Every structure is written in C-alpha cells, then in structure tokens.
Structure 1
Amino acid sequence: MSSTRADCPNLFVVRNEPNPDREYHCDALASWFPDATEVDFVAGERVPIEEAEGVVLTGSTAGVYEAEDRPWIAEEEKFVRELVERRIPTLGVCFGHQVVNSALGGTVERVDTTHALVESDLGHDPLFDGVAPVVVALHGDAVTELGDGLEVIASADHARIFGTRHRTAPLWTVQFHPEIDAEHREAIREAGDWDEREFSFADVTPGRVFENFKRLVAETDEGGEVAETAGAVETAE
C-alpha cells in the first residue's frame, strides 16, 4: 500500500452559492478550512484536479434540477464523477450532498422546507466520530433516490437519505450543515423562517464532521484507500 498523504494535504473548498446575500454558509464552512483554497464554481473558477488531495462542496440556494438555467451545475456533476474516478477524498454538504447523488444517477426533489435543529440517526462511520445527533438542517430539497455506488450512513425523520458514503471511493455527503453554530442564527432568520424546536445549539457539535474529514484525507493513500476504515461502513437504518 502506498504511503498516506502529507499532514497538510492540498484541500479545496468549492463554493456553490449564486446569491451574494446568502453566502454566510459558504463563509462559515470555509472558516473550518483556513489553509484550503476557495474556488467559486458559480463564477467560473475550477479546481486544478491534478493538485487536489481533498475537496469540500458547499451548500447553495440553487437546486440541482436547475441545471438547464445554471450550466455550472452540470459541470459540477461532471467534476464529481471525475473525483470519484480519481478517488480523491470528497465531502459534500447540503447542496454538495445533492449534487453528488445527482451526478451519480440519483434523484433530488423539492420537498417541504426544514429550517431547524433536528435529531439524526448517524451510522457507524468515522466521519461521525464524536458528532452529536442534533444537527442543523437548512434545506427544501432532498435526495429521494441514491446515486450509484452510494449507501446511506445518516437518516432523519424528515429525510431518509440524510448522509451517504461511496462504497469504493473516499466520498462522503451530509444533508445537514456542520459549519453552522449559534452565532449564525440571525443570518439564518434573515434567509428564511426558523423553526424553534426542543433542541438548542448547545446540543450541536459544529465543525466536528470537518475535523474528521481532514483526518480521513490525511489517512487516505494515493490509491484512494482509507487505511482506518476500508470495508468497515455500517449504514443507518
């Protein structure tokens, strides 16, 4: 087996937000990857894939089914397929979760909007080490049919496919927003209705998914194998 990647792998954060007034979630996500290179995919920037050792796809107010009006979405789906083929560690968040599944033949549909703290069922996957089940959900679209090669690793009452992992490539996705914490509440309220429920932001572990992903990137060898976890995924029911 080849040696693992460097302690500081070359990471890229792909920003997918077309609305300049709603970029707070991209900014929040990027803040967890201070050494990463940010790429504005909507504006036409692209990841130099030969240099990438890890990629994170952000959320978006766009829907993946809007590809006819937003040509960059089809380009991102092609990019996702290349990441899988090259076995480059990838994490998709919210829209990133949806575009990955769509790129691999899955289905994304408009559903009821959920802007709330929700309780999730997280599977036994290293991406979720130390991650609390209460997470931030901010979405009106959902994956309704899995993409090829993907399996469910997280679910919630309102979204059966709440997180996925590829069976052979180092690729993970989550529908929820690991980047959001209490300080973003006002930005969330400005963006849409917020449903106050029984949970509080004290129940959330913001950023832990990203710390786990960075560790997984470092543990992924040049052939795309994660030494710690290969073949060890258990899915959420």
Structure 2
Amino acid sequence: MTIPLANDDLESASESKYLVNSLLNGLAVLECFSKEESVLTISQIAEKLEVNRSSAFRLIYTLESAGYIRKLPNKTYTLNSKVMKLGFNVLSNQDIIELSRPILRNLRDQTAAACNLAVLEDTELVYINHIDAIGPFTSTVKIGTRWPAHATVMGQLLLSALPVEEVKRRYKHFKEWKQYSELTPYHLPSLLNRLDYVRTQKIMMSWGHFLKGVAVCTAPIYRQRDGKMVAVISISCPMNTFSKVYFEDFIQNIVMNAAEELSSVVF
C-alpha cells in the first residue's frame, strides 16, 4: 500500500523520496482501530488498507512483535497498551507543563530566581519548563537542557524514587562519572549510598555542588492517582543572592509550597 502524499505537507513532489512508506503503512494499520472497531481481523484490516492479506499480515506481525498490537484468541487483533502509553506519556507531560506555568511564575516572583521543572529520562535530567530570573542573572538552562542525573540534586531526587534494582540496571554500563564536587557520586556504590540519604529528605539543596557559584533548591512533584514522583521543581540563583541560612530556612519553604501546589493538580 502506498499512502497518497498531501500537497500541503510537501514543498515539492521531489521531497517524497524522504518518506518511508513502510512506516506510513504501519501507522495506517494503527489508524484502522477506533472506539467503534477496537477489534479487527486480518481481512478487515486488509480491506481498510486496500491491500492483500499477505501484506496486511506482515504489517500486523511487525507491529505485534514491537508490542503495539495484541493478538486475541479468536484470530483477531487489537491495540496493545504500548500505543496508549505513548500517547499518555506525551499528554501527561503537556498537562504538567501547562499546569506548572503559573506556579513557576509565582515562584519566580517570590524569589526572583530562575525556576525550572524537570523529569528523569534514563540517566539524564531533562528540563521541560523554565522561567527566567528577575534581574541580571542569566541561567544556562533552557527547555530541553540535559544534565547527568547522578550529579545534580534534582536528578538525585528523581533517582531516589526508583527501586534500587532499577537504579543498578540504568547505571550498569554507565561510564560518565565526572566529578563536579566532593558530593558527586563517582561510581555506582557511591550513588546508591547518596540515594539512601536523599530518600530521607523532603527537599534537596545544592550550594555550588554542580554549577560553581550557583545555589539550587528542589522539591518533588507527586502524581495524585498513585503517589508516584513524576517531576521536580526547582529554583536556581547565584550563591550571593541569599545567605545560606536564609536559603535553607526560608527559600526552601517557598519551593516546597510550590511543589505541593503543583502536586495537588497533577493526576
């Protein structure tokens, strides 16, 4: 099956050489399923795609092997949970980003510091929202910035929510144990030891431990339906912005309140 190319989607017909028809055909199979027709036979899928049964079977077999389609006992097929998981992950991130905007702005207004929202991706901390500081301080963080999770208090907080065996799996072949300060874990045992400490903390602070001269305060965001930590919120500013005592006694409470506010609306 060859899916017709939409003229509006291409600047010229010559660009069609970049399209992977087999991928388009696979996506077309997924689009055959709907709320009204959640279970289909090979013949029904072949008819919808206007291809023969052999071609339909190869597409279905590939998608089944990849976990996107599930075969039922009566030789019919339905979408597997992996499809829903993909869409749910995207929508969930979009929801939390949207929900975080006014909370991050308010946090920035209260502290004048740069404010961030980040998630864990394998062994990396990924920033998914950012609000610039008030004043001359320019944060190096942008949306999409990635940092080694083990070396940052934000990443350590997210890693602390994982089972120990999952942390071991992710770092089994990890080799980028760069030292940023005396508190940076330098191998897996030291990371596990650090995470044991982090699990006892409600909030984490860094006083120049990752970026020199930069103070960070971060708190966890929990999903309401299962209590799972899904993100962290943080502020960052030059260490001379506040005294360390003020940062620890006052700023951390503001960050914790913002985290609790965001957690209360994340489902």
**Structure 1 length-normalised TM:** 0.29
Larger Rg: 2
Larger helix proportion, structure 1 or 2?
2
Larger strand proportion, structure 1 or 2?
1
Higher relative contact order, structure no. (Cα contacts within 8 Å, ≥ 6 residues apart): 1
